[in-house]
Amino acid sequence: MEKQRGMKFGIGKKLLLYFLVLSLVPIIVGGGISFYVTKDQLQENTKAHLSDRARDCGRKISYYVSSRYRDINLLSLADVFEGTDTDAKQQYIEEVIDAYPFYEAISVIDQNGTIIACTRKELVGESRADMPSFQRTIQCKRGDLIPLDAYRAETAGGKTVIGFNAPITREGNEEVIGVLTTRLSMDHIVERVKVLDERTAGDNHAYLLNKRGEILAGPDEKQFLNTHRLHEYQVVKDLLAGKTGISQYRNDRGENVITARYALRGDGDFDGWGWGIIVTEPVSEAFKAANIIRNTMILLVLVIAFSVTILAAYISKRFSRPIKEVSESALRISRGHLKPINNPYGPKDEIGDLVGAFNKMTEDLYATTVSRDSLVKEITERRRAEDALRKSEEKLKNILHASPIPTFVIDKTHRVTYWNRALEEYSGIKAKDIVGTDQQWRAFYSEKRPCMADLLVDGKIDEIPQWYPEKHRASDLIEGAHEATDYFSRVSYDGKWLYFTAAPLKDSNGRLIGAVETLQDITETKKAEEQIRLLSRQIIEIQERERESLSREIHDNIGQLLGTLKMGLSRANKKVPHKLSTIKDQLSELSYLVDRTIKEIRELSHALHPPLIEDLGLISALEELCEDFKSYSEIKIKWNFEQIQKPLQSITNITVYRLFQEGLNNILKHSRATEAYVSLTSSEGTVTASIEDNGVGFVVDDVLSPLQTKSLGLMSMRERLVLIGGELEIISQPGKGTKIIASLEEELRRS
């Protein structure tokens, strides 16, 4: 007998391996899942705690400022301010500032802008007529309040304060006879932030920032009204944009930190002023508890794994020993040693039965010689095996018939030879009613027409596009097979989307003998794709709303601040004597730079969200876009924009505008063109937008390749049009210019 080669992997080792797998895998998987779930929960709790601290501090600050709104409004209505006795007014404001420690300074200004009473008496008689805050307040009405963001006030001795201006009127008369200015101490707000700062771990701190990113409160008063060192980081940008939440990042010191940001929402008349709380902790400190639990769980899993390994080794040895002895006995018998062997095994279980049966078999084998009866027995067993094989083949056929994939087979004459149970359930047509007929079309169509399997049997591959336009393609997996997707209204009461594949059947000689077609229900997939498309459209709408909000913020706030700065420079220039010509020239230069900045801000605001779309319509916005392009570009541009008869949706308007905006930008950057022509037309229910230039052109397939990163604008234009039911066609060749055509069907753009 030939000797076995190689290493033998015994049953003892197999049992040990099985026990280890069955025991350790659940422990490791369960421990890992428990660890990550616990760790994630602890981290979420830590983030929530940090966020709650920032939110609590922000709400207390909001409550404090909103309370001052009410106090100062009541103060401005005091009867003493309606009289002409300046001494009484001076005495009253001094009593108020003594009674309420949160006031740093109070001034009374008459309607001409002259200070007639002030807690700093040396300022009485000075004029504030040119101050923008005075001008705004003098135009208000009784009960109004003009808040000023934190700044260093002269009336408060240069301290950082919050300012409030209120108009003074006579009761029952809306005429403004003066202005009451109050400057509130920041000490209470600073103290709140310091308390929050003391609760942070490591060399990280809590800060209160205004909408310009300047520090209003924090650990170091020398930093007040200075720009925060992380003002360029995304976390501070998000805070100044009014976003509240948690961020984890690496700061400018190289530390991994977790930061909670809370944008003040306001309380009552206080709208938050764009202020925000930011508090930071090192990740190592914030998640210390999670790391301790991780190490503990790893150690626990290792201890359990070691214990399980010891137990598995003992169990595998106990069960494998009698089996190994039986195996060795069988090997001896196979070598001709037929003497009975008694293998002892005490426990009464399945292994004991096996050992007993083997001992009995060796005794019988020893007492019996090889004879004709054994040959007959062998033949009988072979016949039984053949019967079992036939039964297996029948069983396999039944399994195929019970396949969950709807399937039918036709022969060369288009007659159905196979119609499985899954297709019976799906179509409602029983196999006995259709097998042997050529009516397979009844399951899918209301009148007779070829299925894809019929086209393959007839060899009419070229006719597949006629019956399944834009819905088919050759299979990548099966030679000669084709696949398609279509909607079938006859399948179920509400119709189904089906993905189906038809493949030819050939005999051993390669001759066509029929075709098989399988079906797959993809209705839910289609619904999911539609949902994704809807969500993508909503994302674009949200982006445009964010752009609109940012555009309005830039135009209304930063633009006003720059306008105020320009007015201040102009007034300062007028007050400088002519003999100081150098200073006047510098002030004029600064005024010029402010003008340029205002222009850039306006252009940026319009680029983010063109206001003309809502104000005057899409056509006016496009004409202004072309006029701007003409003003800063040397490229000759012509345009023709027809009025659209039926109104477009807001998202369609902005998508068409972005198309022209991106197209003109590409012409300016890449085309090297000398002429450009753009148009917007509407005809027979279709809106068509066209952008054309005489530039260098390009190979369309190369530019729109998935590996190409320089054509993201074109791909973004195509995707946005698809989301609103439109199509984008790009026509270009090297040296022959470029033409971009976007078309949108009327029923789609209004859906």
Tens digit of pLDDT for each residue in 704-716? 665 555 555 677 7
Confidence at residue 693, expressed as pLDDT on a 0 to 100 scale? 92
Q: Which of 267-276, 381-390, 719-728 has the lowest mean pLDDT?
A: 381-390
User: What would the DSSP string read from start to end of 473-525?
Assistant: EE-SSSTT-EEEEEEETTSSTT-EEEEEEEEEEE-TTS-EEEEEEEEEE-HHH
Confidence at residue 551, expressed as pLDDT on a 0 to 100 scale? 56
**β-bridge pairing 636-641 and 675-683:** parallel
Instruction: Tell me the C-alpha distance between 250 and 283, whole Å.
Output: 10
Instruction: Categorize the per-residue pLDDT at 748 as very low, low, confident or very high, splitting at 50, 70 and 90.
Output: very low
Tell whether the model's pLDDT for residue 550 goes beyond 50. yes
Mean pLDDT of all residues in the chain? 77
Confidence at residue 299, expressed as pLDDT on a 0 to 100 scale? 78
Instruction: Tell me the C-alpha distance between 617 and 626, whole Å.
Output: 15
* Residue bearing the bigger pLDDT, 413 or 387: 413
* Residue bearing the bigger pLDDT, 481 or 530: 481
Q: Which of 117-126, 163-172, 354-363, 440-449 has the lowest mean pLDDT?
A: 354-363
3-class secondary-structure state, position 401: helix
State the CB neighbour count (10 A cutoff) for residue 79.
Answer: 10
Query: In order of start, what are the domains of the chain with their CATH numbers?
Result: 77-185 (3.30.450.20), 350-397 (no CATH), 402-521 (3.30.450.20), 616-751 (3.30.565.10)
User: What would the DSSP string read from start to end of 355-386?
Assistant: HHHHHHHHHHHHH----HHHHHHHHHHHHHHH
pTM of the model: 0.40
Please give the average per-residue pLDDT across 384-407, as a whole number: 63
Please give the average per-residue pLDDT across 125-135, as a whole number: 89
Please give the average per-residue pLDDT across 293-301, as a whole number: 75
Confidence at residue 418, expressed as pLDDT on a 0 to 100 scale? 82
Which of 206-210, 220-224, 600-604 reaches the highest mean pLDDT? Answer: 206-210
How are strands ordered across the β-sheet holding 176-185? Answer: 115-118, 103-110, 176-185, 160-169, 146-152
Nearest to 83 by CA among 117, 122, 112, 114: 117
Please give the average per-residue pLDDT across 350-379, as a whole number: 63
Tens digit of pLDDT for each residue in 607-617? 555 665 666 67
Instruction: Categorize the per-residue pLDDT at 542 as very low, low, confident or very high, splitting at 50, 70 and 90.
Output: low
Q: Which of 43-52, 144-153, 535-544, 623-632 has the lowest mean pLDDT?
A: 535-544
Confidence at residue 677, expressed as pLDDT on a 0 to 100 scale? 93
State the CB neighbour count (10 A cutoff) for residue 696.
Answer: 16
Q: Which of 364-368, 371-375, 592-596 has the lowest mean pLDDT?
A: 371-375
Confidence at residue 675, expressed as pLDDT on a 0 to 100 scale? 92
Please give the average per-residue pLDDT across 534-543, as a whole number: 59
Instruction: Categorize the per-residue pLDDT at 440 as very low, low, confident or very high, splitting at 50, 70 and 90.
Output: confident
Within 8 A by CB and 6+ apart from 677, the residues are 637, 638, 639, 690, 691, 692, 693
* Residue bearing the bigger pLDDT, 547 or 524: 524
Tens digit of pLDDT for each residue in 240-296? 787 888 888 888 777 788 888 888 887 677 888 888 888 888 877 766 666 677 677
Confidence at residue 118, expressed as pLDDT on a 0 to 100 scale? 93
Confidence at residue 257, expressed as pLDDT on a 0 to 100 scale? 82
Instruction: Categorize the per-residue pLDDT at 52 as very low, low, confident or very high, splitting at 50, 70 and 90.
Output: confident
Q: What's the count of helices (H) and strands (E) in the chain, helices before strands?
A: 22, 21
Tell whether the model's pLDDT for residue 737 goes beyond 80. yes
Confidence at residue 692, expressed as pLDDT on a 0 to 100 scale? 93
Residue pair 27/301 in contact (Cβ under 8 Å)? The answer is yes
Q: Is the dihedral of CA 242, 246, 247, 252 positive or negative?
A: positive
Confidence at residue 749, expressed as pLDDT on a 0 to 100 scale? 43
Q: Which of 25-29, 639-643, 715-719 has the lowest mean pLDDT?
A: 25-29
Tell whether the model's pLDDT for residue 6 goes beyond 60. no
* Residue bearing the bigger pLDDT, 524 or 176: 176
* Residue bearing the bigger pLDDT, 166 or 531: 166
Nearest to 415 by CA among 434, 442, 433: 434
Confidence at residue 679, expressed as pLDDT on a 0 to 100 scale? 92
Tell whether the model's pLDDT for residue 393 goes beyond 60. no
Nearest to 642 by CA among 603, 690, 608, 602: 690
Tell whether the model's pLDDT for residue 424 goes beyond 60. yes
Q: Strand pairing partners for 729? A: 741
Would you state the structure tokens that stand for residue 626, as one six-digit string?
């072309």
First to last CA, the chain: 83
Confidence at residue 116, expressed as pLDDT on a 0 to 100 scale? 92
Tell whether the model's pLDDT for residue 1 goes beyond 50. no
* Residue bearing the bigger pLDDT, 661 or 691: 691
